[in-house]
Amino acid sequence: MVDPRQQNTQLIRQFARSLGFDHIGIARAVKLEEDARRLEEWLNKGMQGQMQYMERYFDQRVDPRVLVPGAQSVITLLLNYYPDQDQTKNSPLISKYAYGKDYHEVIRNKLGALLSRIRENIGEVQGRGFVDSAPVLERTWAKRSGLGWVGKNGNLINKSAGSFFFIATLITDLELEYDDPFAKDYCGTCTKCIDACPTEAILPGNIVNGSKCISYFTIELKDELIPSEMKGRFNNWAFGCDICQDICPWNRFSTPTEEPSFRPIPEILNLSTEEWEAMSEERFKRVFKDSPLKRTKYGGMMRNIKFIGS
């Protein structure tokens, strides 16, 4: 007799790959006791800065069964975004994840399609998909489902593919076969990301002070001005920052994404500082209407461009 858990797991893996996901792992839905302790300690130290959303929904963040009642399984999916093109020299730097269309929309559609296929082929399954938009500790779930380890820079690192990928989560009430957790940390004694971070946001002990990260200042910080003590420390990054990923030896295994939606917007690759400074709000909204750059809005981008250019 065929084990329905095995059959359903194979179906879900097949559906995920057909939708373009590069990796899939599955873990049993349980409360993350150790993560709850670490998160509480991190918040108490104020390392979230103005990211108050990190403080909300604590119980849901550390227990998927609170987020999705009746949850049995946490399915983690990775989608590569590594580009096949680089920005032109001296352009204000944009994080690679923002080269193309907004990944929230792209992945949300894929998760919706995945859940629909599950329901069509398995039955009435309850579930919710998340991509960087809900209280889910996605890197922990990726590690628990065997997809990699969390590096010193706070990114999930996959041994065969590096770290340039988005993490999506589908929590369901369907009992499945579970992968073994990824047990080893292959960062070893390497400290390249710690040494390279110009704002000293990466601390020993696999701790990232979010309130000192360039990505925090250029995206999350909503103040009109960036603190003056950060002057000259952004290394020309105008939106996000990839320093700790670019320097990581494991990213030598990165390969260009096959997802058409992540193809770079030409302006992101080619705009000079002068062209950015001359950009109108109307043009910004038109060019970047489907881009992650809209998150920081026109005023935020102009603030960032001015800060790194003056």
Q: Where are the beta strands (DSSP E) in 107-236?
A: 127-130, 149-150, 156-157, 165-172, 202-203, 207-208
Catalytic residues, by residue number, are 132
In a domain, 120, yes or no: yes
Q: What local confidence, expressed as pLDDT, does residue 222 receive?
A: 86
Angle between helices 4-18 and 103-122 (to 10 degrees): 140
81 lies in some domain = yes
Stretches in the chain below the pLDDT threshold 50: 47-49, 52-57
Residue 135: per-residue pLDDT = 57
Same domain, 196 and 53: no
**Is residue 40 located within the same domain as residue 120?**
yes
What pLDDT is stored for residue 206 in this prediction? 82
The pLDDT of residue 53 is 46
Q: What per-residue confidence (pLDDT) applies to 54?
A: 47
Say if residues 168 and 96 touch (Cβ distance below 8 Å): no
Whether 178 is in a domain gets the answer: no
Q: Is residue 42 part of a domain?
A: yes
CB-CB contact of 22 with 80 (8 Å): yes
pLDDT for residue 48: 46
Domain containing 109 equals 4-172
Same domain, 133 and 223: no
Q: Domain count of the chain? A: 2
CA dist 102 and 281 (Å) reads: 19
Regarding whether 206 and 156 lie in a shared domain, the answer is: no
Residues 54, 145, single domain; the answer is yes
Domain shared by 158 and 20, yes or no: yes
Model confidence pTM above 0.75: yes
Six-digit token string for 173 = 């009430």
